Structure 1
Amino acid sequence: MRITRKPLSRRTVLRGAGTAMALPFLEAMMPGAYAADIGARPKRLQVFYSPNGMTMPEYRPTGEGTAFTLPPTLEPLEPHKDAITFITGLGHPQAAAMGDAPAGHGRSCPAFLTGAHARQTEGPDIRCGTSMDQVFAAHLGDATQIPSTELSIDLPSMAGSCDINYSCAYTNGISWLTPTVPLPVEANPRAVFERLFGDGEALDEKSRLARLRKQASILDFVMEDTARLSGKLGMEDRRKLDEYLDATRAIEKRIQRAESSPPPAQAASMTQPAGIPDDFAEHVKLMIDLQILAMQADMTRVGTFMIGRELSNRTYPEIGVPDSHHMLSHHGNNPEKMRQLAKINRYHMTFFAYALQRMKETKDGEGSLFDRTLVIRGSAFGDSNEHDFLDLPVAVSGGLVQGGRHVRVEHGTTMSNLLLAGLNLLDVPVTSFGDSTGPLQELIRA
């Protein structure tokens, strides 16, 4: 590693045997006059997606403007209420059948970030639209080592049909690089970690295997380079570097525990993918923390996270819900099934609250990662029993928008207007997106 006169190159890395580890965003990387200027720091985008819709009566806030209260599903977000804008009335008209088969998930999921109508097909000729996150990633170009991260809790389904006459490619993820290229999601924390802290894509295979056998830390490989760099940094940068390295080691230990923990007795006949914790909550938090670490290092500024694949049949016995999520979403207005679905929805909100808290407590210069991040949380359906794609449960947060509001827009207003406004807030000079009619003024107006 070569240290030059300040400002330190944004491409500076810590090097060791078979390893190249990115640095967090340091004051030394900025011209002195701008080091404390939060406006000069990079903007980021994070999307948090939950599948299978909502029990809307338990979700929708009461009251409007700043005078609103949170219903049971949203109560976990109370500590962040002043930082969130809840928007009622947004939909995706492009998720309508338009003469196609009466499927719902296969059209609504791909429309979520694209505002486009998915081509009905079970074959390789899939087509939808470029997603909003990838428009932002393309705008950033090569500003970061990794253009974007697409994380999930569920492994992708096998090729074929997952919804009626619709390819599984439409429900495995929400990010589309182009109208014909959906981006694959990654559910294995070990794979994510190695992508972040390898030589740009993956660790040297020999070194990776040696480290796994020893249960060694990546930090052990770059210790000498770390000491050399630390001596040339100011006090605040040394503190930030120490926090970053501590967070990296903590995540490593959690991944190692997941890999070494024996599977539960009932899973004895199953092959557990290495690095994926058996505990759902630990898995979710680990994936969120990996995204936070990637942003902290400015390895990427764009991330999407699916807490469940669309059509997910996961059960949640840990919260007293032994039935399948997707099955419960088709509750037929059965009160008990609706109650169980609401418990899942609320449980997912606890992890969204966790993500917001982690962004708020992670330093970024004089502020935090939260200050310069646009956060979008949503689902492809409102009322899951009806596959209602015209009243979506959408919330927006982050320091780039005014929070503490419940905003109602005309029912069925295309969510593409919100995605367009989001791109403008991220300084992407576009005037249209998907089926937008203009940027959503309620988002960009203070």
Structure 2
Amino acid sequence: MIKNTLLKVNLFISCVAIAVLLSFVFFFIFPSFKRIIITQAEENAQVIAEHLSDLLNTDDRGLEIKVDNHIDEVIGSMLRRFPINRINIYTTGGTVVWSTRRDLIGSVHSGEEFRKIALKGGIYSRYKAEGEGSLEGETIKGSVVETYVPVVRDGGVKGVFEIYLDVTDRENQVKRILYASGIIMSLLGVGLFGILLYSSRRSDYHLSLLHKARREIERQYERFYEILEHTPIGIYLLDEEGRIEYVNPAMTEISGATKEEFIGLRLLELPTYREIGLTESIGKAFLGEEFVLGPVEYTSYLGGKRTVRIFYGLPLDLHGRRKVLVFVKDVTDEKRHEEERERLIADLKKALSEVKILSGLIPICASCKKIRDDSGYWKQVEEYLKEHSEMEFSHGICPDCAEKLYPEFYKKKK
């Protein structure tokens, strides 16, 4: 059982094509050939009648025709040129005055149909297949064309030629040609079905690939759409007229507006865009140039939300239509953190500038431990450090110095 719908259609088309071709051959071409055979036979009959008419004479009254004695010789030459089956020559009364069949001479054709044809004065031909009857009621042997050619003398019909031309060979040739054509057309139909079958199989294969590719594209599109919907970066798509076709949730969050407010909005007409130079940048993007703008402070036209943003524009060509995809990053927090960091760095620099740091080689006395300053004066250690740092000193006495300065006190203690 054929399950493939396309294959069923192809089979139906092939069968219909074969039937139409065969019908065309047997119902149009064959009758056309038959008409051609009849026409040629009629023309040949007129040629024969024209040659024989010179051998006919009318009687004394000019009413009946008489046959010349040389007609047999002329008929003999005609038989070599034309496939003559029989020739009868009638008077207007229907009497056979001469015939290739001697037994018919003198017989009378009294049929009403013959009289109408004979007296009408026109040429009449018709095809007779083997076994059919002639106008005289005789059974025809072989396929013939029966033609009646009037003998016209002095403006009137004096007699009638009845000429049978055998067209059996011509008809058989035509039939053989038509049968061969039918076979060829049948083979062509079978070949057509084979081609359609092969094409349908190839089409099925390519369709399966297309369906697979389509599913993959849909899957990638869903993934891409999911990424757009969940990315923290604002995204919107502009059409050729600068209207928003798509906006993601992050963009509505950044602007403080709804998706419905965004869709269809003509961004290039917004004064806030012109103020920050974004209108010009988007215009260049429609000409094929990418752009980066920012960071800039921007107050949303829709939501009135003030943020610091960086804009990035990407030109697109979708099926010959220019579009621009704009990415918007909200760097308000980063900007604030950066400002705080810069302020902290400035505070640290200021604090460090107020701190005095001692470094390098300091000349000190090996005996009294005084330090020589840059001016060449020797100063006590605490005095020098106080001048060159933020140090403050409080005085006390160590045990060794106390024993040295107050020996009596230490002796009593021991």
Q: Please classify the TM superposition score into its range, dividing by the shorter chain length.
A: under 0.3
Higher relative contact order (CA 8 A, sep 6+): 1
Greater helix fraction, Structure 1 or Structure 2: 2
TM-score under structure 2 normalisation? 0.18
Greater strand fraction, Structure 1 or Structure 2: 2
